[in-house]
Structure 1
Amino acid sequence: MTTTLPGPAAVTSAAVHLDRVQKVFGTGGNAVQALDGVDLTVAPGEFVCLLGASGCGKSTLLNLVAGLDQPSAGRITLSTSRPAVVFQEAALMPWLTAARNVELPLRLAGFGRAERREKAAGLLELVRLGGAGSKRPHELSGGMRQRVALARALAATHRVGSDDQQSLLLMDEPFAALDAITRDVLQGELMRVWRSTGTSVLFVTHDVREAVRLGQRVVLLSSRPGRVVREWRDVQSSDAEQLAEEITADLREVISTHAAA
């Protein structure tokens, strides 16, 4: 069973572009500025890791890109009308089987029963859960539930009558709650899925080694309010150990500067 995902081949615009994006929560003396003038572009098919200390605004930025909240200032431009999101918790519908969970966004998008069943089966094969479609979430391990969540997110990028629109996958520390072995396996699986689909990925993490392993580009945010303070390109062609040490040093500097402020 195979499935076709939207690919970047004919796309020339950015998958997502943030232009001087700001986000402020609250008003007056109680206002908290989470993001301050963030400029960021994710190219079609690019895997970008957004790195920073806890509370720096990474998840806030992802929520803005997903359309779950609106920026206080600045502009966000997407080449896809509905990015797909994978959170730290799989958040599957417990009364639905794995296959029906994956079918849900296809149903909402207007696909007929036969087509959405075929696409869901193909996506479960893609994440190596081809034999688990009839199982409900409580029958699956944590790692398997995250695979189903990934398949469901990929399903959400499908559009009726079109397989050529740029797709964007937003991932908010999706492996943080898993044990080290499962996390390592799923990181490898995510890379395999990304390479086979051409999906653009914006991946939020506070784990330097995870960012270096997964990202083509790593973007470092300052402590609150979050700003882009540095980025590293061609990450996957670099010496991973040396680069991780360099990024860790910069992250520690960001944290210590914030603590001293």
Structure 2
Amino acid sequence: MTTTLPTGRSNFTGAAAVRLDGVRKAFGTAGRAVVALDGVDLTVAPGEFVCLLGASGCGKSTLLNLVAGLDAPSAGEITLNTSRPAVMFQEAALMPWLTAARNVELPLRLAGFGRAERREKAAELLELVRLNGAGGKRPHELSGGMRQRVALARALAATLRVGGDPEQSLLLMDEPFAALDAITRDVLQSELLRVYRSTGTSVLFVTHDVREAVRLGQRVVLLSSRPGRVVREWTDVPLADAEELTEEITGHLREVISTHAAA
């Protein structure tokens, strides 16, 4: 059964993979500043898959960028207890002159792995995403879905550190399947769940698709429209009736959008 929480705090009280306390982000100078996020409190437990849901422009991607360290909050604190997060975007953004295997090896090289070890790890990750026969192909030789699999393998590689614990990792995903056709998206959602269950990594997944959030997440967090604040959480999502929960969350999302439009 799902539990609806009216605040941004989860029931988790242990050491978080990432914790946001009172995070605020404003763009621009005083008087003309646009506040994207305001007072966001959010915790992702180690090994937890959290889907961050909201309307377009509510600050979901901004929040992900802050967690990734690509930008700094205007106020509040972000605490990471994992290795540096890896980010996966809508576009695969692979290096076109490198093979699939070399694309996956790149973050391993930057992390200090030796040639033999990074080749072995890249092969393992390509096999994990079911591309073990495509390591020698370049991006233009791969379908859109295959390129996103390579991007996923590369993101997982980016969470690894020499001598580090592979389970102490955080994967940030910014609508990675939004540009794919429905069938490919469905397949990759299933693949992502399989990879997630086999790796133990923590995942913070941004989407505007309620069905995707319900299918993937252990917990779904709803942001208000700008400025983004956590307004609802649904826990124990895999135990809930998917259709019933989708309708419930869709109703709250519509309320958020309507309130913003009327403001």
**Match of residue 76 from structure 1:** 78
Q: Does 2:178 correspond to 1:176?
A: yes
Q: What is the rounded CA distance, in whole Å, between the counterparts of 1:158 and 1:26 in structure 2?
A: 36
**Match of residue 8 from structure 1:** none
Read off the aligned partner of 1:116 and give its amino acid letter: R
Q: 112, 119, 122: which is aligned to 1:120?
A: 122
Q: What is the rounded CA distance, in whole Å, between the counterparts of 1:117 and 1:145 in structure 2?
A: 19
Q: 234, 251, 254: which is aligned to 1:252?
A: 254
1:157 CA displacement: 1.0
1:31 CA displacement: 0.6
73-82 or 60-69, which deviates more: 73-82
What per-residue deviation string (whole Å, max 9, x for no partner) do you get for residues 53-102 of structure 1?
Answer: 00000000000000000000000000124101000000000000000000
**Match of residue 86 from structure 1:** 88
Superposition map of 1:150-165 within 5 A = 150-164=152-166
Read off the aligned partner of 2:243 and give its amino acid letter: E
1:161 CA displacement: 1.9
**Match of residue 187 from structure 2:** 185
Q: What is the rounded CA distance, in whole Å, between the counterparts of 1:26 and 1:62 in structure 2?
A: 19
- What is the count of residue pairs matched by the alignment? 250
**Match of residue 51 from structure 2:** 49
Q: What is the rounded CA distance, in whole Å, between the counterparts of 2:124 and 2:98 in structure 1?
A: 18
Q: Does 2:26 correspond to 1:24?
A: yes
Q: What TM-score do the two structures reach when normalised by structure 1?
A: 0.95
Q: 61, 64, 87: which is aligned to 1:62?
A: 64
List gaps (5 residues or longer) in structure 2.
1-13
Aligned-residue identity in percent = 88
Q: 106, 109, 123: which is aligned to 1:107?
A: 109
Q: 165, 168, 181: which is aligned to 1:166?
A: 168
**Match of residue 218 from structure 1:** 220
What per-residue deviation string (whole Å, max 9, x for no partner) do you get for residues 192-219 of structure 1?
Answer: 0000000000000000000000000000
Q: 1:240 to 1:165 in 2, by over 3 A?
A: closer
CA contact (8 A) 2:83 2:170 kept: no
1:162 CA displacement: 2.4
Q: What TM-score do the two structures reach when normalised by structure 2?
A: 0.94
**Match of residue 194 from structure 1:** 196
Q: Which runs of 4+ in 1 moved over 6 A?
A: none
1:165 CA displacement: 5.5
Q: What is the rounded CA distance, in whole Å, between the counterparts of 2:214 and 2:96 in structure 1?
A: 34
What per-residue deviation string (whole Å, max 9, x for no partner) do you get for residues 146-182 of structure 1?
Answer: 0000000000111112235610000000000000000
Q: Does 2:233 correspond to 1:231?
A: yes
**Match of residue 10 from structure 2:** none
**Match of residue 5 from structure 1:** none
List gaps (5 residues or longer) in structure 1.
1-11
**Match of residue 5 from structure 2:** none
Read off the aligned partner of 2:239 and give its amino acid letter: S
CA contact (8 A) 2:159 2:166 kept: no
Q: What is the rounded CA distance, in whole Å, between the counterparts of 1:210 and 1:233 in structure 2?
A: 15
CA contact (8 A) 2:167 2:200 kept: no
